[in-house]
Amino acid sequence: MQQVARIRPAGRREDLRAVTLADGRRFLLEAEQVTFLGLSPETAVDEGLERRLVNLDERLRAREAALTLLRYRLRSRAELTARLRRRGFSPHVIQDLVADLIAKGMVDDGRFARAWAEHRAIGQNGPHRVRAELRSKGVASAVIDEAVRAVFGGDEAELAAALVERHLRRLRSLPVEVRLRRLAGLLRRRGFSGSVIAPLLRRYMRPGHQADLSGDASE
């Protein structure tokens, strides 16, 4: 039968303990769990207690990994689940952990989608690109729709126009037709809809805007 060889603080974390068995295996537990289980050096570890240590260790490590990911930025439920799976945690451990984080409001697809859309809009990306990115992160369509409406509303055309104005100067050395193609491609890549791109480019084809495309506008 195994025995506990030593119990030490886990790094600088006063709330965690590293429990090492005589065979060298090391388990990470909360200090309260060590007390509850009555662990101390030379405590005998039978099969039941060993399974308990394995389970507690995995759950704590999964939680620490999830909290580290969430400190970096918000995550969707599907994204967080996928990241934890890639780290090798058991499906039932991940399911319980993510459910607990959702219950505590630390994982919220609606809040995540809104924050993602706001960040991408600041970078002058359109709603179609935002929708595609959120779908790739496993966010439900209804949640995506709500976030896109809240962030973009009726401002898609204004955002696209600002992006065009930002890029006009660097395209002035090119023929007008080439500029229009470049601008159309840029707007499509950034996720703006055809219903916004077409009238915007037609506006720059009007006589009053030809100077913007021809490079003759006064500085």
pLDDT band at 13 (very low <50, low <70, confident <90, very high): confident
Q: Can you give the pLDDT at residue 178?
A: 76
The answer, yes or no, to whether residue 200 has pLDDT greater than 90, is no
Q: Can you give the pLDDT at residue 177?
A: 73
What is the average pLDDT across 39-63? 95
How high does pLDDT run on average in the chain?
Answer: 86
- Rounded to an integer, what distance in angstroms lies between the CA atom of residue 203 and that of residue 136? 34
**What is the residue extent of each domain of the chain?**
109-152, 156-214
The answer, yes or no, to whether residue 216 has pLDDT greater than 50, is no
pTM for the model stands at 0.74
Q: Can you give the pLDDT at residue 199?
A: 76
What is the average pLDDT across 1-11? 91
Percent of the chain surpassing pLDDT 90: 58
pLDDT tens, position by position, 77-94:
999 999 999 999 999 999
The number of C-alpha atoms within 13 Å of 20 and in the hemisphere containing its C-beta is: 9
Specify whether domain 109-152 bears CATH 1.10.10. yes
What is the average pLDDT across 57-64? 97
> Exposed (0-12), middle (13-18) or buried (19+): which is 94, by Cβ within 10 Å?
buried
Percent of the chain surpassing pLDDT 70: 88
Q: Are 179 and 213 in contact (CB under 8 A)?
A: yes
The answer, yes or no, to whether residue 49 has pLDDT greater than 80, is yes
Q: What SS3 state is found at 64?
A: helix
- Rounded to an integer, what distance in angstroms lies between the CA atom of residue 33 and that of residue 162? 57
Q: Can you give the pLDDT at residue 213?
A: 47
pLDDT band at 51 (very low <50, low <70, confident <90, very high): very high
